Structure 1
């Protein structure tokens, strides 16, 4: 029997796969686009670091990192199919499931939020010294309405006995826009991350009100570990692109292991200069304050999803009434995948 040309055999195999409903793997030369909810934030540092260490390339992946200051906007890009994955807060997976969207974290970077509720020094001197003092029409800054900083701020206020009508939330982004909002007194307090925290503490424009960079501070404020920074994708994409999802999770897992065995100075050396500008020492200091929040291998910390669900269910009707299946919001199966 005459041998069929190789191209004909490939076409036949492709047709058979389609007929059987088998998902097609993403073409090797097609970039996987990942949206990061603020790429220069230290909580999301593993995204850029994975690229810098060459771990995406080692896995045979072509990855394009994009930045979107607010996590809620990044998740919208994911749902719309404009990007394949998001580096953002794990709590979005639960919130979205309550709205009928299935998203799962396949690598977890932070076992705690890494966020800090800062109060302006002016407001602190006027008596704003705990979340209970948010009463009386104070304005609290968040990155965006519907963002994780929004979720957490509402919960901290509620736990301190402050009703939502007694304060207001203002989306001010992160970095320079957050700093300006504090200095201009457009917000009296707000939630942000490193290196913004260290910048405001250094200039004396703000003080720490609630510290969610450590396990101790997070447990005291939220009642348990609160896994936050993570890499999540649509469940359907992970199912239809198992090889790519596994390689991505494995690359991030390698990065988390690298972080756990290197110093803040060594990590800073791998980051782009524009991440720390003219004050590298401040960046290293911010890194040192942040290192305890990272997982060592990209796995979801035990008990973490339950804490996040408890926080969201406190004030989000959809989550409270929805039948949330936490097992569908994350998986540890891919971080050590072969």
Structure 2
């Protein structure tokens, strides 16, 4: 007797839901009409935690969910990835925010449009074998320092640390060692005397007692100690002309990254292990998870680039790089939060 009204109520409810969905769909479709669906994205050291949001968004299918076919090319360091975009073989770079400032100083206009990291996650350590008697920065004069790639953010931080200790970049030799197994080998075999790199590499060396950390930006507190304020790190950035020509595509990219950031807010260590490729663990799950716990609070929450962070980046670069004149840089043109804000609202990040 009561079954028919129940079915009718169910049909009405599902019909109402369908009607609501059909009303919402046109606006969604309008937003997602992408100017470009196939995107070539360059990154330098994808296996590092620095780029974990990119890996999560890729592995969980968030780019595909936005209608994007993203082909990711991995390079030895951020400067190499940047060269791919400048040279035209890639559309977008996943790399350090400060590159947008460096590029503007060379009259090349690039803009960051979604943040992945709110701290650089870079640590500088000296070899406990090659430099057992290390006392101060002055001891690094004439030494070989491993960085992900010359000109990358690891190189920039090393320059900053050296300058504060009274040394110039020309006082040392920088060696590109990548951000994975090659970096571990270079330090362990004695090819380099010190290393400025990212996790999980640095935590692995630190926990085995192979390096003594002398400067650390893997936490928000450490970043403020080194830079004097918040320092935006990994982001997606592209030529301004590309962003202006492909706003819906950039929105889709920002959506995918912020979706990944939202997932990371509640993900446990086990979730990370299941999601990242096995090769990223560098053969040691326990140390990989120890590294994740160390850098967790440096992962961005909502993709938005803080204004004071951009100012910190400019101040830091200008302090050791004479080619960057702070008063000549228009910081407002190095980033936009238009896309990240929309993505944040959509995913409640």
Partner of 2:267: 262
In the alignment, the residues of structure 2 paired with residue 176 and residue 82 of structure 1 have an alpha-carbon distance, to the nearest angstrom, of 26
Partner of 2:80: 73
Structure 1, 271-280 or 208-217: larger mean CA deviation: 271-280
Deviations 1:218-242 (A, max 9, x none): 1111211111111111111111001
Partner of 1:315: 320
Alignment counterpart, residue 55 of structure 1, candidates 58, 62, 68:
62
Q: Kindly indicate whether the alpha-carbon contact (under 8 Å) linking 1:25 and 1:240 is maintained by their aligned counterparts in 2.
A: no
Pair 1:191–1:251, CA change in 2 (3 A): same
Deviation at 1:275, TM superposition (A): 1.3
Q: TM-score, normalised by structure 1?
A: 0.87
Deviation at 1:149, TM superposition (A): 1.4
1:232 aligned counterpart, secondary structure? strand
In the alignment, the residues of structure 1 paired with residue 258 and residue 136 of structure 2 have an alpha-carbon distance, to the nearest angstrom, of 37
Q: Kindly indicate whether the alpha-carbon contact (under 8 Å) linking 1:250 and 1:336 is maintained by their aligned counterparts in 2.
A: no
1:117 aligned counterpart, secondary structure? strand
2:117 aligned counterpart, secondary structure? coil
Pair 1:316–1:182, CA change in 2 (3 A): same
Alignment counterpart, residue 92 of structure 2, candidates 82, 85, 91:
85
Does structure 1 residue 99 correspond to structure 2 residue 90?
no
Counterpart mapping for 1:115-264 below 5 A: 115-126=122-133, 128-135=134-141, 137-264=142-269
Q: Kindly indicate whether the alpha-carbon contact (under 8 Å) linking 1:314 and 1:320 is maintained by their aligned counterparts in 2.
A: no
Across the two proteins, how many residue pairs are aligned to each other? 311
Q: Kindly indicate whether the alpha-carbon contact (under 8 Å) linking 1:129 and 1:209 is maintained by their aligned counterparts in 2.
A: no
Deviation at 1:60, TM superposition (A): 1.2
Partner of 1:281: 286
Deviations 1:96-135 (A, max 9, x none): 0111111111111111110110111124422x14434323
Pair 1:50–1:129, CA change in 2 (3 A): farther
In the alignment, the residues of structure 2 paired with residue 68 and residue 164 of structure 1 have an alpha-carbon distance, to the nearest angstrom, of 23
Q: Kindly indicate whether the alpha-carbon contact (under 8 Å) linking 2:231 and 2:313 is maintained by their aligned counterparts in 1.
A: yes
Alignment counterpart, residue 297 of structure 2, candidates 289, 292, 295:
292
In structure 1, stretches of 5+ residues that fail to align are: 1-23
Q: Kindly indicate whether the alpha-carbon contact (under 8 Å) linking 1:112 and 1:213 is maintained by their aligned counterparts in 2.
A: yes
Q: Kindly indicate whether the alpha-carbon contact (under 8 Å) linking 1:36 and 1:86 is maintained by their aligned counterparts in 2.
A: yes
In structure 2, stretches of 5+ residues that fail to align are: 1-32, 344-349
Q: TM-score, normalised by structure 2?
A: 0.84
CA RMSD of aligned residues (A): 1.9
In the alignment, the residues of structure 1 paired with residue 272 and residue 94 of structure 2 have an alpha-carbon distance, to the nearest angstrom, of 19
Alignment counterpart, residue 44 of structure 2, candidates 19, 37, 40:
37
Structure 1, 260-269 or 38-47: larger mean CA deviation: 260-269
Deviations 1:208-265 (A, max 9, x none): 2211101111111121111111111111111100110011111111111221222232
Deviation at 1:277, TM superposition (A): 4.8
